[in-house]
Chain A
Amino acid sequence: MDFLKWGRSPWGEDILIRISWDLLYLSAIGGVLFLIGHALYVRFWPQPVPEKGDAATTAALAARIPERVARHSVAARAFHWVMAAAMFVLLFSAFLPIVGVKFAWVTIHWIAGVILTLSIIYHTVHATFWLDFWSIWPEKGDIEDSRRRMLRGVGQSAPAPRKHGKYPLENKLYHLIILITGLAVIGTGVFMMKRVQTPFFTRNPYLFTDQAWGVMYVAHGLAGVGLVALVMAHVYFAIRPEKLWITYSMIFGWIDRGHYLEHHDPQRWNVARPVPPPPPDEDAAKGRRIAV
């Protein structure tokens, strides 16, 4: 199997054209195998029992947790679904013709690309200034938690990991990798629009050297086929029964108190209502605790 497709410049030089579309099938097969593997793992491997917290504390906390914990603002949800739609359109318009479903895909593809780009610019600004910016980035503690969770996942003994903050590490990593692949496709895709007729640019395929374009096409292709697997995984998790509550949150914007308490660490993601004025010392102690 070739990983890259080479062509010939008008001067007879070997130039990189793009990745081999074999990689698309590789990515898709890889994605499917992962899903099957994961599904089998969940179905047949004894799952670790979640740690029960200190009942009293939980109860006290629960009292202060709203019935519906707001997870995603309307703006954030709108972004997610616009981005998702754009991504599906991009993937289908890119890859359906390759697998034999022929239609005029280029205009659809670049328009979806422009929408994706604009939505991401919006998201970047919105997340930076209006959202809890750091909540989505992996942090040092996540690594230890992750190690413990994995050991426990395969039946080894390990100290209990912390519960998640607003986003589990998987979520954070997924975001990170989507961000990298997304930037790669967008960054290359914007320049690739110079190679086709659009209302924005005068077409100029000579903007870069053949070699530079080759690298760009390969990056676009790699990110693109990578996204096939990533999106498959994402959709898979979104429809897994035990994860549906998260999916609902992306639709309705909230999770219920139970899921919050079960999966999230209130210290890492504090959604508690301010308590009614308690005795001063207790208040200070509690305040400290929460502030830790």
Chain B
Amino acid sequence: MPERTLVGQNYTTPDLVAKVTGKAKYAEDYRAEGMLFCKLLLSPMPHARVRRIDSSKALAMKGVVGVLTADDFPPVKPDQSGLKPEQALTNEPVYQGEPILAVAAVDEVTAADAIELIELDLEPLPFAVDPIESLRPEGANARLEGNAYVDRKVATLKWTAEDFREVAAGRLPFGKGADEWKVGDVDAGFKQADVVIDETVVIQSTGHQPLETRTAMAYWQNGKLYLHGSTQSVARTVASVAGWVGVEPSKVVIVSEYTGGGFGSKIPGAHSMAIPALLSKKTGRPVMMRISREEEHFIGRARAGMQARARLGMRKDGRITALDLYIVMDNGPYSAQGDARSSGSIASLAYQPMTMRFRSVAVLTNTPPRTSQRSPGGMQVNAILEPIITKAARKLGLDQVAVRHINAPAGKAPYGPPGQNGKQRYVTSAFVKEALDRGVELFGWDARKGRSGQRRGSKARGIGVAVSPYVGGSIGFDAIMTIRPDGRLYFQSGIGNLGTHSTIDVHRVAAELLGMPWEKCEVIWGDTSKHVPWSCSSAGSQTVHAMTRAAHAGAMDAKRKLQELAAHDLGGKPDDYDVSNERVHRKGNASGGLTFAQAAKRAIELGGKYDGHELPKDINPMTKTSATALAGLGLMGVAKDNYPRDGDTHSYVVGFAEVEVDVETGAYQILDYTAVADCGTVLHPHSLAGQIHGGSVLGMGHAIGQRWTYDQHYGRPLAKRFHHTKPPTILDVPVAMKWDAVNIPDPETPVGARGIGEPPVGAGYGAVLNALVDALGDDAFRRTPVTPDVIVAALDAGKWTHEALTAHV
């Protein structure tokens, strides 16, 4: 292993100063000659069919240039599910707020005034906003094609009146139609248990609501679309925009140097990008579409809420002998979501139950479209199971940490549904026990245990711990880097810059391998016209793992070429040479050989593979195109990540929280929070801290108040803006949160680093919920978020009093 000169060190990323000084240009900051602004007309109904649109009065207005409707989009056919894929404008809105048309005008006020002049004739169609209501025998279907995904197809699924007697009693019935998998004999597992807990819980849906909404600006030049947008991957957005707009990917340039957060809602890009693109095509002028906070509620994607029932059996020693989990997932109106499936896998990984049965139903609703939100399914299942595990431990008189320890995944831990060979998949590595031990120490768990569940006056204290795994990396992407005659190392980055620093961080691996001082490195990112390689989306916590591997492969390629070039020019075998100190030199003589600048010059002279005129066969076509464009600029390292990997990469965070609840008002404060990550080798500590704390705060926000609310009669949202959806504020989270990482390299990746974006979310969420259980007892709540009203009503009644199964409250 090379000396760690860059990996694991803090530094200032090159995008930082622009961000904190406001100089950074986001999509909304761009202007183009003759640019128009567009505004959207949103469906007032949760489900309807457009009978007629009369835009004549709007078009007659001074300053109005064009109107775009669904009819201007490339035609789409239903996919294998039976549903037509979502498009940015529609003639059959399937949720209130879905865009129906867009008006382009010389300014926004004119566009808005024009929207008010549009006459829209809609035929109301049946709708459902609560999955359970849609499953009633007489319940409405969210889509004309059906109300649920059954065997991956949209079909009508109704439960029986008998099932709904269970609902009336506050329990989720084990209704028909669920996807199911099993590991071991669950009934036998329950027989071994000394305590069994059976709870029905509701986990809220929430909008992603990144600080930057999905604003986009587009114009066409010489038949090519230039789109300034906000995305979680620059490289990957080209193909999706090309598809939505109906052109070849080679005709699309994506510019996105800065993205104000995505949390999964901009993978890759956003459907709505097609609106300014097509309006610009139609009007022949650049079009800016600024998306408001309220519009972001509608089109900005959301996490799938869940109505779930879990039965969990625990042995006296704390080992989970059986887990029977049933989830009804609010799928929103469009494509099938993977949250519930992930919930099953993550539950089996986090707690390694001896036996497990998992069932889930994805029910369609007329609420905003869902997509992965930071730890999709993982976060929800943390919220479902963590309090139950804590309650089982309390019944058995066991310590919360001890119970997590005995059930923690370790090594190549198995997880998820059994494959065709009957065996479960397994992870690359897990060091959760080590993380728990470190956390106990850092948080001072043992000292705090004395306060567990104690009351002074009206203030009750509680502590909680939670274990949260999530996927932590993919493989097989490419890198392009060039050492140029100016003696500098240039990295092409196709990674989206959504605030995680990984856009830049991953290249430090390559710089370190090549012994290049970071000051002499430059990262080119944020613009697909600048020849970027095929990269992963910054989603699913892939980037640090996937792109450090690619960077490693690219650096190794560059190094090999330097060695070969030195051998070619200076004699000997390539292996006789080493790189360090900005030179390629004979081993043991660091001052000899060629400087990188000289090597770069020689590479250009030699051409062929050295300067990118000959490329590896296995790289992605996008990488090939980019590398070809860059060929001849210097010595090129270009390669695909072909490193082996045994197992599926996951990362883990354990979170510890202490809360103080005022039992007279239900108000509470999270006093302290500590998180320890097992994410392999630490790449960039500041950035890692940001991810651990930021992710944990997202989880805390879901525990303490973030939500949306729907009026069930009209199927319209009531909580759309921040003062209603209530994401957490700086005052809602502890002043000083601690963190650490076990920093044990993952054995299945050359750099040892895994991704970390998602695992903290469930840790923050579960730790706070467990601390609340510790402070308030087992019967205070059965739904999230846990707000003061829930607590004060429960304490008054001696038991939770909120509605058991209603969604979107």
Contacts and interface: CB of A to CB of B under 8 A. Distances in A.
A12 interface: yes
Nearest to B124: A11
Contact of A12 (B44, B711, B713): B44
Interface in A1-29: 9-12
Given A10-B711, A10-B714, A11-B44, 6 more contacts: A10-B44, A10-B716, A11-B122, A11-B714, A12-B44, A206-B713
15 contacts: A9-B714, A10-B44, A10-B711, A10-B714, A10-B716, A11-B44, A11-B45, A11-B122, A11-B124, A11-B714, A12-B44, A12-B45, A12-B120, A12-B122, A206-B713
Contacts of A206: 713
Contacts of B124: 11
Contacts of A11: 44-45, 122, 124, 714
Interface string B648-667: 00000000000000000000
Contacts of B713: 206
Contacts of B714: 9-11
Interface string A70-98: 00000000000000000000000000000
Contacts, number: 15
Nearest to A12: B44
- Chain A residues touching B, majority SS: loop
Contacts of A12: 44-45, 120, 122
Nearest to B714: A10
A206 B44 CA distance: 19
Interface in B704-726: 711, 713-714, 716
A10 B712 CA distance: 12
A207 to B, nearest CB: 12
- 7 smallest A-B Cβ distances: which pairs? A12-B44, A10-B714, A11-B45, A11-B44, A10-B716, A206-B713, A11-B714
Interface string A48-59: 000000000000
Contacts of A10: 44, 711, 714, 716
The residue in A9, A11, A12 that gathers the most chain B C-beta atoms within 10 A of its C-beta is A11
Nearest to A10: B714
A274 to B, nearest CB: 68
A267 B402 CA distance: 104
A11 B97 CA distance: 11
Contacts of B45: 11-12
A12 B41 CA distance: 12
Interface in B677-734: 711, 713-714, 716
Nearest to B96: A11
A11 B715 CA distance: 9
A265 to B, nearest CB: 60
Nearest to B713: A206
A67 B711 CA distance: 70
Interface in B326-369: none
B49 to A, nearest CB: 13
Interface string B26-44: 0000000000000000001
B286 to A, nearest CB: 31
Contacts of B120: 12
B560 to A, nearest CB: 66
A263 to B, nearest CB: 59
A78 to B, nearest CB: 45
A260 B775 CA distance: 87
Contacts of B716: 10
Nearest to A8: B44
A12 B122 CA distance: 9
A12 B48 CA distance: 12
B94 to A, nearest CB: 15
Contacts of A9: 714
Contacts of B44: 10-12
A27 B288 CA distance: 55
Interface string A29-52: 000000000000000000000000
Interface string B86-129: 00000000000000000000000000000000001010100000
A12 to B, nearest CB: 4
A206 B714 CA distance: 11
A218 to B, nearest CB: 23
B126 to A, nearest CB: 13
Nearest to A9: B714
A284 to B, nearest CB: 74
A12 B43 CA distance: 9
B298 to A, nearest CB: 15
A206 B713 CA distance: 8
A215 B769 CA distance: 51
B425 to A, nearest CB: 48
A12 B713 CA distance: 14
A10 to B, nearest CB: 4
A11 B713 CA distance: 11
A118 B711 CA distance: 37
A12 B120 CA distance: 9
Interface string A183-226: 00000000000000000000000100000000000000000000
Interface string B119-141: 01010100000000000000000
A130 B716 CA distance: 56
A12 B121 CA distance: 10
Nearest to B48: A11
A9 B45 CA distance: 10
B778 to A, nearest CB: 33
Nearest to A205: B713
The residue in B45, B124, B711 that gathers the most chain A C-beta atoms within 10 A of its C-beta is B45
A11 B124 CA distance: 9
A267 B713 CA distance: 63
Nearest to B45: A11
B133 to A, nearest CB: 15
The residue in B44, B120, B711 that gathers the most chain A C-beta atoms within 10 A of its C-beta is B44
A212 to B, nearest CB: 15
A10 B711 CA distance: 11
B96 to A, nearest CB: 8
A12 B714 CA distance: 11
B411 to A, nearest CB: 56
B422 to A, nearest CB: 52
A32 B714 CA distance: 45
A206 B711 CA distance: 13
Contacts of B122: 11-12
Interface in B42-77: 44-45
A11 B123 CA distance: 11
A11 B711 CA distance: 12
A137 to B, nearest CB: 45
Interface string B785-804: 00000000000000000000
A126 to B, nearest CB: 43
A12 B46 CA distance: 12
Nearest to A206: B713
B124 to A, nearest CB: 7
Nearest to B716: A10
B129 to A, nearest CB: 13
A11 B93 CA distance: 13
A11 B120 CA distance: 12
Interface in A140-167: none
A11 B121 CA distance: 11
A175 B67 CA distance: 61
A202 to B, nearest CB: 15
A273 to B, nearest CB: 67
B724 to A, nearest CB: 16
Nearest to B120: A12
A71 B762 CA distance: 85
A132 to B, nearest CB: 51
Nearest to B711: A10
A155 B120 CA distance: 62
A11 to B, nearest CB: 5
A206 to B, nearest CB: 6
A12 B715 CA distance: 13
A10 B718 CA distance: 12
A97 B727 CA distance: 43
A194 to B, nearest CB: 15
B92 to A, nearest CB: 15
